[in-house]
Amino acid sequence: MSMDYKKIYEEWLSNPYFDADTKKELESIRDNENEIKERFYADLEFGTAGLRGIIGAGINRMNIYVVRRATQGLANYIKKQGGENKGVAIAYDSRRMSPEFSEEAALCLAANGIKAYRFESLRPTPELSYAVRHLGCIAGINVTASHNPPEYNGYKVYWEDGAQITPPHDTGIMSEVKAITDLSTCKTMDKEEAIKAGLFVTIGKEVDDDYIAELKKLVIHQDCIDKYGKDIKIVYTPLHGTGNIPARRVLKEIGFENVYVVPEQELPDGEFPTVSYPNPEAAEAFELALKLAKEKDADLVLATDPDADRLGVYVKDTKSGEYITLTGNMSGCLLAEYEISQKLATEGSLPEDGALIKTIVTSNLADEIAKGYNIKLIEVLTGFKYIGQQILNFETTGKGTYLFGFEESYGCLIGTHARDKDAIVATMALCEAAAYYKSQGKTLWDAMLDMYEKYGYCIDAIQSVSLKGIEGLAKIQEIMNTLRENTPAKIGKYEVLSARDYKKDTIKNLATGEVTTTGLPNSNVLYYDMSDSAWLCVRPSGTEPKVKFYYGVKGTSLEDAQKLSKELGEEVLAMINKML
C-alpha cells in the first residue's frame, strides 16, 4: 500500500468538483493519518450485490460521488446491453442519506438518457423487486444497508428479472464501475430539467396497490382468516424501517383486526434509536415487542428488518405461556410445510416438476420436507439472488415450478411476484397459517412440533466472529486458508465424512478419497458433512467483516437436539479460538 491515499485526499480537498460540506468534513480529519488512510486507501468495492459502507467523504465511504460513479458504471453497462429505452426503478429505505443517494442515482441515469422511476418515499426491498418487472425496467437500484448499524448505507443493483444481479451481469457492471477512474466524468443533471424531459418519474400508489393485490392472490385459506382473523392477536414492529405501511395494510385487507404495532419503533428513523443493531436475528430487537405481546396476550410477535425483506418471529406456546423464538430455519420450514401441504390439499396434487429451493447453509429439515412431498430440492449458494436465478431458469426453460424458497437468515419468498426475499408476504402467510392451525385447534408452536415429529428433530445454529479493518480481512482469509489446507477429520464427536470446497469446486469423500464436483459457481465456502446427520459450513460474510460458522444436528427429541446443538456450538467456538 503506497502513500497514494494522501494524494487522493488532497485531490478531494482541492478539486472544485467536490462540494464545500465534503471538504469541510475532510479538513476536520487532516491530523488523523489513520482516518485518512481508512477513507482513501481503496475504492469502496462495488461487489457482487453493489455497495455497502460507512457514510462519509472519501473513496472508501458511501457518499453522492461514490453513488454517482456506481450509477454511471451501471448506465454504461445498460447501454452496452441495449437496454437504455427500458428505464430503471429506484427505491430507498429509512436510513441517513437514503433519499439523497436515490435522487443522485436517478439524476445520473437521467443525464445518461435513461428514464428513472423513483419511489416518492421509502419502500420495502421486495416492492422494488416487484416494480422492476411491473414497469418493464432493465434494472433496479435499492438504496439500503438492510440491518447494518446506523452509520452505514448501501446500494444494491437488480436486473430485469427483478433479482439482484448474478453472473454475467454482476461482473459486467463491476468492471464498468472499475473503469471509471475520474469521478468528475460521471454525469448528472438538474432535477427540474430531468422531470421536464420525462427522465425523472416519481412512482408510488399505483405500484403499491398492484403489489398488495399480488400478495392477496397468494392467500390459500381465506375461510380460516374470515373465521379466526378477529381472534388472533398479532404484535408487529417495523424496527424504524420500511415495513410499517405495507405489512399493516395487507393484514388489515385480508381480515386481521388485532394488529398491535410497537409505538416506539413504528416511525421510520435512520438512527434506529431503540436498538443498537436493527436486526430481527438479534434478541434485543424484540425487547419492546415482547413487552407489548405480554400486555396484549398476543399469539405471535413479528419484526421486519429495516428494508422489510426479512422477518423475525416469536410464537406463543400456550402450554407454558412463554414466547418462543423461531430461527430463520424454523420459520422458513414452517412456512414451506404450510404452503406446500395446503397447495397439495386444495389442488389435490403438486406439480410434477415442483421444487423447494434452499441455500447451502440452510437447514436439512428442508431436504426432509422435499422428500416427504416427493418434490425436487434445489441447493444454491448463499444469497437470495441465487434463488431468484432458479425462478428465472424455470421461466426461460419452461421446466420447473417454484413452490417455495428460503434461506436461514430469515428470508423467504412465497409466489413469484418478486425475485427477492419478501417479509411482507411472509408476514401475511404466517398470520394466515396461524388462522389455519387455529381451525385445527393448534398454535404455530404446535405445528412446529408436529413438523419435527414428522421429519426429525433437525436443529441449526450459527457462530460468527467479527474482525474489523484491514487486518481483520487478512485474518478471515487466514482462517479460510488454514481450514482449506487442513480438513479436520473430526469436529467434536462427529466424524467428517466429506468436505466440500466451493472455491475449488470439489467434494472429497474422506473415507475413499474420491473427488467429485459441487456443480455450483465458485465461492469461498467450505462445508463438512458429518456422521449422525450433522454438518458444518464456514463462509466469510458478504456484507460485514465477519466469518460465519453454520452448523446443524439431528436429535431424537427437541431436548436431545438442543443439547447436541449446544455441544457442537462449543466445539466450533473452541476450533475458532484455536485459529485466532
Residues with catalytic function: 146
Provide the CB-side half-sphere exposure for 237 (13 A, CA). Answer: 29
Distances (CA, A) of 183 to 17, 97, 100, 213, 366: 9, 19, 18, 42, 47
Distance CA 360, CA 408 (A): 9
Distance between CA atoms of 431 and 256, rounded to whole angstroms?
Answer: 8
Pairing relationship of beta strands 494-501 and 526-530 according to DSSP bridges: antiparallel
| 177 contacts 69 by C-beta, under 8 angstroms | yes
DSSP 40-64: HSSPPP--SSEEEEEBSSSTTSBSH
User: Residue 527 forms beta bridges with which residues?
Assistant: 500, 537
What are φ and ψ of residue 261, in 5° steps?
-95, 135
Residue 250 is which amino acid?
V
Are 241 and 94 contacting, i.e. CB atoms less than 8 angstroms apart? yes
With beta carbons less than 8 A apart as the criterion, state whether 141 and 105 touch: yes
Beta bridge partners of 466: 546
Label each residue of 267-306 as H, E or C.
CCCCCCCCCCCCCCCCHHHHHHHHHHHHHHCCCEEEEECC
Give the amino acid at 348: G
Cβ partners under 8 Å of residue 376, min gap 6: 353, 354, 355, 356, 370, 400
| CA 268/CA 274 separation, integer angstroms | 12
Q: Is the dihedral of CA 407, 413, 417, 422 positive or negative?
A: negative
Give the CA distances from residue 527 to residues 14, 105, 490, 507, 544, in Å, rounded to whole numbers and listed in that order. 50, 39, 13, 9, 20
Is 296 in contact with 313 (CB distance < 8 Å)?
Answer: no
Q: Are strands 354-359 and 376-380 parallel, antiparallel or unpaired?
A: parallel
Directed axis angle between helix 125-134 and helix 205-216, to 10°? 100
